[in-house]
Amino acid sequence: MKMVHMGRTGLQVGSVGFELSPLKNRSYEEAARILQRAVDSGVTFFDIGLPCAEVQRRVGRGLGQIREKVVLAGSFIPSTAQELERDLSAMLGDLKTEYLDILQIHDPDFLPRPGDGSGLFDALTKARGEGRIHHIGITTGNWEIAVKALEYGWYDTLQYPWSRGSAEEEVSLLDFCLEAQVGSISVPPEEASEDLEADCRFLDERQDHVSLWLLDESMGFEQVLSWGKG
């Protein structure tokens, strides 16, 4: 699988990654099998999504023995610094790991920043200083928030719904990510694609970009793996 560089994080990962929320509907054995299938195909980037004990425990069991060989990202819905701390502690416990490589603020209606009064970014900075997270990211479908996140330089990664149908100004954000040394990750599509090969090709042609897909066999899991392996 092609390897990509995630900006100033310094992380090198496979160009295809998977969002793991569908694992909540799998047995522990099935989850371990499908995770191993992905790893054997060269996948190293996994996003556990929003806090969910059922997913986290399956990932902890399935990837715990090879934790240092994979990159784990997670997300949380912005609320309070106290809830962030609670969710992160539970997440790390379920995952059987001491840290997340990336923790992302999920779809905020404003851009959290240092000292803004919400305490969110400051809590992330504290967690990073403690070594419980290594990098701070943001997921958003709001173009203006994405631009500000890149302009101000507070975030290490940006997850955005890039696709073959993205407008030109949205695609230009990918170049902005490269200039700002911010790792770019595409939000996984929620529905099965009518032309999965074309979708994979579009995202694969982006420089140093991680295309994220749902880890779900009904969503073209095997096709995505085959494309990623070239």
Q: What is the DSSP letter of 195?
A: S
Are 119 and 83 a contacting pair, CB within 8 Å? no
Torsion sign over Cα 208, 199, 141, 159: negative
Contact 152, 121 (CB under 8 A): no
pLDDT (tens digit, 9 = 90+) per residue, 10-59? 999 999 999 999 999 999 999 999 999 999 999 999 999 999 999 999 99
pLDDT, position 192: 62
The three-state secondary structure class of 5 is strand
Tens-place pLDDT, residues 112-153:
999 998 899 999 999 999 999 999 999 999 999 999 999 999
What is the pTM for the complete model shown? 0.95
* Distance, CA of 47 to CA of 214 (rounded, Å): 9
CATH topology of domain 3-215: TIM Barrel (3.20.20)
Going by C-alpha positions, the residue among 163, 219, 217, 165 that lies closest to residue 190 is 219
**Domain boundaries defined on the chain:** 3-215
